[in-house]
């Protein structure tokens, strides 16, 4: 089976649902010609690039077209966007020896451990290593001293809200506490009855993802030291700190302040409802402005604000995961040419333009030093503040793989819908997740440990003054 046949099979797995919902989520782009004199003559080396990012697909087509037309090494990049089942598609491609040459490192630790990614150390210049040195995070960019993917942008988490609905409900500003969030959601729902609007929603079709979008920014800004249920200070899972947040979700559901059917709501249908003016507020990150500019154009007046906190005090920082971006397949016979494309992407010019166009907010210091503020509508509320800080990844993914019983997101959604003994539920989650963490540490799947000196309050101002 050749690479095109494998790709066709993979696309067939993901296209049916996505075409119905979004008008298609798979795209490819290549340029087979170059302007006279722009590139040397000779046979082209075609390299495949797979990405999960759809919000910037149109822009990346332009970037890749320019690279194809101007590089002097006869390299032609073909980009494919696999917005659904990306990790599964990558697994199948590597298993069938038809892997892409370059890929978005969407499951960083998993891809490294499966042998999918090539180390970049030997290809990087000392200047490039120095440029990224302070931004490299173990289990996010590096493993055991090997660099597999470099950062580009960070995810800045915010409460996204419909300004028009807030005004309609007589609310002057976004909530500063979780209790105010509950009250505002109720007011918006009551004021929005005539247009079928509701105060709150989240993508609870994936309960783990939905809860993390809500709980992580609230809890970390509140100063709990907890992200994904994991306490950086103690090195253990502690779901008890989420009690006020879970109670707030339960109350909004009981009040009828949540969009009906929220338990089966996926992220794109949520965005469509928000763009149509039917949702007062939800939580997500700084990729949303580009989504509402291209994927779900909207005429509503919307904005983003720092998340509320548990008690109204900002004793911590909103956790920003710097992330990784793209890497090179370990199996490609064209590593040096693939690196040429990575050099094109991991440079100041591309990163500056990417930031300024609002496709993602840079965390690279020399980019932020020279880049203009993005002009994308809605981006202003996502720009770095003194309350944003880089956090290391948590061991949630490897831990959940070893947790026995109901996963955290499902347990919390069950309480949100049905009620019950919340203290018992949260205590049980902590116990089972710490047992899974012990297994993950024993098997070497994570090296995370307690950091008694971790202080989220001292991180304030580390990204922006």
Residues 61 and 72 in one domain: yes
- Does residue 448 belong to any structural domain of this protein? no
Angle at CA of residue 242, ends 244 and 452, nearest 5° = 130
- Does residue 53 belong to any structural domain of this protein? yes
> Where residue 54 falls among pLDDT bands split at 50, 70, 90?
confident
Angle at CA of residue 270, ends 278 and 184, nearest 5° = 50
Helix (H, G, I), strand (E, B) or coil at 406: coil
State which of 109-123, 289-303, 378-392 shows the largest mean pLDDT. 109-123
Helix (H, G, I), strand (E, B) or coil at 314: coil
Residues 191 and 285 in one domain: yes
Residues 188 and 312 in one domain: yes
Residues 437 and 399 in one domain: yes
Percent of all residues in the chain with a pLDDT value above 70, rounded to a whole number: 91
Residues 145 and 197 in one domain: no
Q: Which domain holds residue 412?
A: 158-320+393-442
Cβ contacts of residue 397 below 8 Å, gap of 6+? 109, 110
Residues 258 and 198 in one domain: yes
What is the phi-psi region of residue 225: left when phi exceeds 0, alpha when psi lies from -120 to 50, beta otherwise? left
- Does residue 46 belong to any structural domain of this protein? yes
CATH of the domain at 215: 3.40.190.10
Give the closest residue to 332 by CA, choosing from 118, 64, 72: 118
> Where residue 157 falls among pLDDT bands split at 50, 70, 90?
very high
Rounded to whole angstroms, the Cα distance separating 418 from 416 reads: 6
Q: Which residue has the higher pLDDT, 463 or 32?
A: 463
pLDDT in tens, 405-435: 999 999 999 999 999 999 999 999 999 999 9
Rounded to whole angstroms, the Cα distance separating 223 from 215 reads: 12
| pLDDT score for 100 | 98
Residues 255 and 357 in one domain: no
| pLDDT score for 290 | 84
Cβ contacts of residue 122 below 8 Å, gap of 6+? none
- Does residue 97 belong to any structural domain of this protein? yes
Read off the tokens for 20.
């119905």
Q: What is the mean pLDDT of residues 438-456?
A: 94
- Does residue 374 belong to any structural domain of this protein? no
pLDDT in tens, 240-274: 999 999 999 999 999 999 999 999 999 999 999 99
Question: Per DSSP, what are the bridge partners of residue 102?
Answer: 49, 328
Residues 139 and 285 in one domain: no
pLDDT at 302 over 50: yes
Residues 294 and 354 in one domain: no
Residues 118 and 261 in one domain: no
pLDDT at 18 over 60: no
Whose structure tokens read 């170059």? Answer: 34
Q: Which residue has the higher pLDDT, 67 or 324?
A: 67
Residues 183 and 77 in one domain: no
Q: How many other CB atoms are there within 10 angstroms of residue 77's CB atom?
A: 26
Of 133-147, 152-166, 252-266, least confident by mean pLDDT is 133-147
Residues 236 and 256 in one domain: yes
Helix (H, G, I), strand (E, B) or coil at 51: strand
- Does residue 455 belong to any structural domain of this protein? no
pLDDT in tens, 181-195: 999 999 999 999 999
Q: What is the mean pLDDT of residues 157-163?
A: 98
- Does residue 336 belong to any structural domain of this protein? yes
| pLDDT score for 464 | 66
pLDDT in tens, 79-114: 999 977 899 999 999 999 999 999 999 999 899 999
What is the chain's mean pLDDT, rounded?
90
- Does residue 64 belong to any structural domain of this protein? yes
| pLDDT score for 30 | 47
pLDDT at 279 over 50: yes
Q: What is the mean pLDDT of residues 191-203?
A: 98
Q: Which residue has the higher pLDDT, 41 or 126?
A: 126
pLDDT in tens, 329-363: 999 999 999 999 999 999 999 999 999 988 888 88
| pLDDT score for 85 | 87
Whose structure tokens read 């297994």? Answer: 439
When divided into structural domains, the chain yields a total of 2
């Amino acid at each position: 089976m050749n690479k095109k046949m494998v790709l066709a099979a993979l696309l067939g797995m993901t296209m049916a649902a996505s075409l119905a919902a979004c008008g298609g989520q798979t795209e490819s782009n290549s340029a087979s010609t170059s302007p006279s004199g722009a590139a040397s003559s000779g046979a082209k080396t075609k390299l495949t690039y797979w990405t999960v990012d759809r919000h910037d697909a149109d822009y990346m087509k332009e970037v890749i077209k320019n690279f194809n037309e101007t590089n002097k090494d006869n390299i032609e990049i073909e980009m494919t966007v696999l917005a659904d089942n990306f990790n599964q598609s990558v697994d199948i491609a590597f298993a069938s020896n038809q892997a892409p040459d370059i890929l978005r490192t969407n499951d960083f630790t998993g891809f490294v451990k499966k042998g999918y990614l090539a180390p970049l150390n030997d290809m990087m210049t000392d200047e490039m290593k120095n440029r990224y040195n302070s931004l490299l995070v173990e289990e996010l960019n590096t493993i055991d001293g090997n660099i597999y993917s470099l950062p580009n942008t960070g995810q800045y988490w915010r409460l996204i809200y419909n300004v028009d609905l807030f005004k309609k409900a007589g609310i002057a500003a976004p909530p500063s506490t979780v209790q105010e969030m509950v009250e505002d959601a109720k007011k918006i729902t009551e004021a929005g009855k005539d247009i079928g609007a509701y105060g709150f929603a989240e993508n609870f079709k994936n309960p783990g993802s939905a809860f993390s979008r809500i709980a992580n920014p609230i809890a970390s800004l509140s100063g709990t030291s907890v992200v994904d249920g994991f306490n950086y200070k103690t090195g253990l899972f502690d779901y008890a700190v989420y009690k006020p947040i879970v109670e707030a979700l339960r109350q909004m559901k009981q009040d009828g302040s949540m969009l009906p059917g929220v338990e089966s709501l996926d992220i794109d249908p949520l965005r469509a409802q928000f763009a149509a003016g039917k949702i007062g507020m939800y939580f997500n990150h700084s990729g949303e402005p580009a989504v509402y500019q291209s994927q779900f154009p909207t005429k509503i007046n919307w904005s983003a604000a720092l998340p509320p906190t548990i008690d109204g005090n900002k004793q911590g920082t909103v956790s920003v995961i710097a992330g990784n971006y793209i890497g090179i397949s370990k199996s490609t016979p064209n590593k040096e040419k693939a690196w040429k494309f990575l050099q094109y992407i991991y440079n100041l010019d591309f990163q500056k333009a990417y930031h300024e166009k609002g496709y993602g907010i840079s965390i690279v210091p020399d980019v932020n030093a020279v880049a203009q503020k993005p002009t994308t509508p809605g981006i202003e509320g996502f720009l770095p503040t003194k309350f944003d800080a880089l956090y290391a990844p948590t061991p949630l993914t490897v831990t959940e793989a070893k947790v026995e019983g109901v996963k955290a997101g499902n347990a919390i959604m069950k309480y949100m819908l049905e009620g019950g003994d919340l203290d018992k539920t949260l205590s049980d989650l902590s116990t089972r997740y710490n047992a899974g963490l012990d297994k993950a540490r024993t098997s070497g799947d994570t090296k995370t440990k307690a950091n008694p000196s971790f202080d989220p309050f001292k991180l304030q101002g580390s990204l922006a003054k």
